[in-house]
Amino acid sequence: MSGINIYLDIDGVLNRYGPVRKGRSGVDPADPEADEWPAYTSSGGVLVWPPEMIVRINRLIAADDVTPYWLTTWESDAAVFGEQVGLEGSADWTWLPSVGIAGDGRWQKYASIREHVEQTDPVFAVWLDDDLAHEPDARRWARRTGRVFALAPEPMEGLRPSQLTRIEELIAEAHRTGASPMGRVRPGSRPSRRPR
Protein backbone atom coordinates (compact mmCIF):
# COMPACT_ATOMS: atom_id res chain seq x y z
CA MET A 1 0.00 0.00 0.00
CA SER A 2 1.52 3.30 -1.02
CA GLY A 3 0.86 6.66 -2.58
CA ILE A 4 -2.09 8.99 -2.79
CA ASN A 5 -4.52 8.99 -5.73
CA ILE A 6 -6.70 11.92 -6.74
CA TYR A 7 -9.64 11.23 -9.06
CA LEU A 8 -10.95 14.32 -10.82
CA ASP A 9 -14.22 15.01 -12.54
CA ILE A 10 -14.42 18.10 -14.76
CA ASP A 11 -17.97 19.44 -15.14
CA GLY A 12 -19.47 20.51 -11.83
CA VAL A 13 -16.10 20.27 -10.08
CA LEU A 14 -13.25 21.99 -11.93
CA ASN A 15 -15.57 23.58 -14.49
CA ARG A 16 -18.57 25.10 -12.78
CA TYR A 17 -21.99 24.86 -14.40
CA GLY A 18 -23.34 28.08 -12.96
CA PRO A 19 -22.63 31.61 -14.06
CA VAL A 20 -20.10 33.62 -12.10
CA ARG A 21 -21.90 36.11 -9.91
CA LYS A 22 -22.25 39.57 -11.34
CA GLY A 23 -19.38 41.71 -10.28
CA ARG A 24 -16.98 38.76 -10.05
CA SER A 25 -14.18 39.22 -12.50
CA GLY A 26 -10.43 39.00 -12.56
CA VAL A 27 -10.08 42.42 -11.01
CA ASP A 28 -12.64 42.10 -8.21
CA PRO A 29 -11.34 41.98 -4.66
CA ALA A 30 -11.99 38.68 -2.88
CA ASP A 31 -14.65 38.52 -0.21
CA PRO A 32 -13.05 36.42 2.54
CA GLU A 33 -16.50 35.53 3.95
CA ALA A 34 -17.94 34.18 0.74
CA ASP A 35 -16.10 30.83 0.33
CA GLU A 36 -15.86 31.80 -3.33
CA TRP A 37 -12.81 32.10 -5.53
CA PRO A 38 -11.59 35.67 -6.03
CA ALA A 39 -11.48 35.37 -9.81
CA TYR A 40 -12.55 33.17 -12.69
CA THR A 41 -11.31 32.63 -16.18
CA SER A 42 -13.58 31.60 -19.00
CA SER A 43 -12.99 30.05 -22.36
CA GLY A 44 -15.71 30.53 -24.94
CA GLY A 45 -18.23 30.93 -22.15
CA VAL A 46 -18.34 27.13 -21.88
CA LEU A 47 -15.47 26.54 -19.52
CA VAL A 48 -15.38 28.57 -16.33
CA TRP A 49 -12.63 27.92 -13.79
CA PRO A 50 -10.82 29.77 -11.00
CA PRO A 51 -7.07 30.17 -11.68
CA GLU A 52 -6.29 30.08 -7.96
CA MET A 53 -7.91 26.65 -7.68
CA ILE A 54 -5.70 25.35 -10.49
CA VAL A 55 -2.58 26.76 -8.80
CA ARG A 56 -3.49 24.97 -5.56
CA ILE A 57 -4.26 21.67 -7.31
CA ASN A 58 -0.94 21.91 -9.17
CA ARG A 59 0.78 22.34 -5.81
CA LEU A 60 -0.96 19.22 -4.44
CA ILE A 61 -0.08 17.00 -7.37
CA ALA A 62 3.54 18.19 -7.46
CA ALA A 63 4.30 15.85 -4.55
CA ASP A 64 6.09 12.67 -5.65
CA ASP A 65 3.61 10.33 -4.06
CA VAL A 66 0.45 12.03 -5.35
CA THR A 67 -0.97 10.78 -8.65
CA PRO A 68 -3.92 12.43 -10.38
CA TYR A 69 -6.36 10.51 -12.57
CA TRP A 70 -9.21 11.66 -14.76
CA LEU A 71 -12.58 10.20 -13.83
CA THR A 72 -14.84 12.21 -16.08
CA THR A 73 -17.10 11.61 -19.05
CA TRP A 74 -14.65 13.74 -21.01
CA GLU A 75 -12.50 10.59 -20.92
CA SER A 76 -9.65 11.00 -23.46
CA ASP A 77 -10.72 14.61 -24.16
CA ALA A 78 -9.94 15.52 -20.55
CA ALA A 79 -6.37 16.21 -21.68
CA VAL A 80 -7.71 19.10 -23.77
CA PHE A 81 -9.41 20.60 -20.75
CA GLY A 82 -6.33 20.10 -18.58
CA GLU A 83 -4.16 21.93 -21.06
CA GLN A 84 -6.69 24.75 -21.38
CA VAL A 85 -6.83 25.43 -17.64
CA GLY A 86 -3.13 24.81 -16.96
CA LEU A 87 -3.12 21.59 -14.95
CA GLU A 88 0.54 20.58 -15.07
CA GLY A 89 1.28 17.28 -16.77
CA SER A 90 -2.41 16.57 -17.33
CA ALA A 91 -1.87 15.55 -20.96
CA ASP A 92 -0.20 12.42 -19.60
CA TRP A 93 -2.67 11.57 -16.84
CA THR A 94 -4.44 8.25 -17.08
CA TRP A 95 -8.18 8.50 -17.65
CA LEU A 96 -10.54 5.81 -16.42
CA PRO A 97 -13.68 4.66 -18.26
CA SER A 98 -16.48 6.94 -17.06
CA VAL A 99 -19.35 6.95 -19.52
CA GLY A 100 -22.62 5.17 -18.81
CA ILE A 101 -23.19 1.99 -16.89
CA ALA A 102 -20.71 -0.84 -16.31
CA GLY A 103 -21.30 -4.46 -17.25
CA ASP A 104 -22.33 -5.25 -13.68
CA GLY A 105 -25.03 -2.54 -13.77
CA ARG A 106 -23.04 -0.10 -11.62
CA TRP A 107 -22.37 3.53 -12.45
CA GLN A 108 -19.30 3.23 -14.70
CA LYS A 109 -17.24 5.70 -12.67
CA TYR A 110 -17.92 3.71 -9.51
CA ALA A 111 -16.98 0.43 -11.19
CA SER A 112 -13.79 2.02 -12.55
CA ILE A 113 -12.62 3.55 -9.30
CA ARG A 114 -13.30 0.38 -7.30
CA GLU A 115 -11.19 -1.65 -9.63
CA HIS A 116 -8.49 1.02 -9.80
CA VAL A 117 -8.19 1.44 -6.03
CA GLU A 118 -7.94 -2.32 -5.65
CA GLN A 119 -5.20 -2.51 -8.28
CA THR A 120 -3.13 0.51 -7.23
CA ASP A 121 -3.68 0.07 -3.48
CA PRO A 122 -3.13 3.70 -2.39
CA VAL A 123 -2.74 4.73 1.25
CA PHE A 124 -5.32 7.42 0.66
CA ALA A 125 -7.47 8.64 -2.23
CA VAL A 126 -9.61 11.67 -2.98
CA TRP A 127 -12.59 11.37 -5.32
CA LEU A 128 -14.28 14.56 -6.49
CA ASP A 129 -17.51 14.29 -8.46
CA ASP A 130 -20.73 16.31 -8.26
CA ASP A 131 -22.71 13.20 -9.26
CA LEU A 132 -21.66 11.48 -6.04
CA ALA A 133 -24.57 13.36 -4.49
CA HIS A 134 -26.91 10.94 -6.29
CA GLU A 135 -24.84 7.78 -5.79
CA PRO A 136 -25.29 6.49 -2.24
CA ASP A 137 -23.73 3.08 -3.04
CA ALA A 138 -20.55 4.76 -4.22
CA ARG A 139 -20.43 7.04 -1.18
CA ARG A 140 -20.97 4.07 1.15
CA TRP A 141 -18.21 2.12 -0.54
CA ALA A 142 -15.82 5.07 -0.22
CA ARG A 143 -16.58 5.41 3.48
CA ARG A 144 -16.14 1.70 4.11
CA THR A 145 -12.72 1.56 2.49
CA GLY A 146 -11.44 3.88 5.22
CA ARG A 147 -9.16 5.49 2.66
CA VAL A 148 -11.29 7.11 -0.05
CA PHE A 149 -12.49 10.63 0.67
CA ALA A 150 -15.45 11.18 -1.68
CA LEU A 151 -16.76 14.69 -2.08
CA ALA A 152 -19.66 16.00 -4.19
CA PRO A 153 -19.36 19.72 -4.90
CA GLU A 154 -22.48 21.68 -5.74
CA PRO A 155 -22.32 21.56 -9.58
CA MET A 156 -23.41 25.18 -10.10
CA GLU A 157 -20.50 26.30 -7.89
CA GLY A 158 -17.84 23.68 -8.51
CA LEU A 159 -15.13 22.96 -5.97
CA ARG A 160 -15.11 25.64 -3.26
CA PRO A 161 -12.03 27.10 -1.52
CA SER A 162 -12.99 25.55 1.84
CA GLN A 163 -13.41 22.13 0.24
CA LEU A 164 -9.98 22.33 -1.36
CA THR A 165 -8.54 23.43 1.98
CA ARG A 166 -10.01 20.30 3.60
CA ILE A 167 -8.44 18.13 0.90
CA GLU A 168 -5.08 19.84 1.38
CA GLU A 169 -5.29 19.15 5.12
CA LEU A 170 -6.17 15.49 4.62
CA ILE A 171 -3.33 14.97 2.17
CA ALA A 172 -0.90 16.76 4.49
CA GLU A 173 -1.97 14.41 7.28
CA ALA A 174 -1.50 11.38 5.04
CA HIS A 175 1.99 12.64 4.22
CA ARG A 176 2.79 13.19 7.87
CA THR A 177 1.54 9.85 9.16
CA GLY A 178 1.97 7.61 6.10
CA ALA A 179 -1.58 6.39 6.76
CA SER A 180 -5.10 7.24 5.70
CA PRO A 181 -6.44 10.26 7.58
CA MET A 182 -9.91 8.70 7.56
CA GLY A 183 -11.10 6.55 10.41
CA ARG A 184 -10.93 2.97 9.26
CA VAL A 185 -14.11 0.93 9.54
CA ARG A 186 -13.30 -2.77 9.57
CA PRO A 187 -15.48 -4.95 7.36
CA GLY A 188 -18.51 -6.02 9.33
CA SER A 189 -17.90 -3.59 12.15
CA ARG A 190 -20.03 -0.63 13.02
CA PRO A 191 -18.89 2.97 12.80
CA SER A 192 -16.70 3.62 15.83
CA ARG A 193 -18.76 6.68 16.74
CA ARG A 194 -21.69 4.49 17.70
CA PRO A 195 -21.66 3.58 21.43
CA ARG A 196 -21.59 -0.12 22.26
Q: Least CB distance from residue 129 to Mg ion, whole Å? A: 6
Our finding on whether 11 is near Mg ion (CB under 5 A) is: yes
Nearer to Mg ion, 132 or 182 (CB): 132
**Residue whose Cβ sits closest to Mg ion:** 12
Q: Least CB distance from residue 172 to Mg ion, whole Å? A: 26
- Reference 13, options 124, 95, 126, 103; nearest CA is 126
Our finding on whether 9 is near Mg ion (CB under 5 A) is: yes
Q: Least CB distance from residue 158 to Mg ion, whole Å? A: 9
Stretch that binds Mg ion, among 25-33, 37-45, 128-136, 165-173 (CB under 5 A): 128-136
Our finding on whether 12 is near Mg ion (CB under 5 A) is: yes
- Reference 95, options 115, 111, 77, 81; nearest CA is 77
Nearer to Mg ion, 65 or 154 (CB): 154
Q: Distance of CA 19 to CAs 15, 81, 153, 168, 186, Å?
A: 11, 18, 15, 26, 43
Residues in contact with Mg ion, total (CB under 5 A)? 4
Our finding on whether 36 is near Mg ion (CB under 5 A) is: no
* 108 within 8 A of 102, measured Cβ to Cβ: yes
Stretch that binds Mg ion, among 56-64, 84-92, 110-118, 126-134 (CB under 5 A): 126-134
- Reference 9, options 98, 115, 93, 129; nearest CA is 129
Stretch that binds Mg ion, among 6-14, 36-44, 58-66, 115-123 (CB under 5 A): 6-14
* 67 within 8 A of 8, measured Cβ to Cβ: no
Q: Where are the beta strands (DSSP E) in 30-79?
A: 41-43, 47-49, 66-70
* 7 within 8 A of 128, measured Cβ to Cβ: yes
Our finding on whether 130 is near Mg ion (CB under 5 A) is: yes
* 116 within 8 A of 127, measured Cβ to Cβ: no
Nearer to Mg ion, 70 or 123 (CB): 70
Enumerate binding residues for Mg ion (CB under 5 A). Answer: 9, 11-12, 130
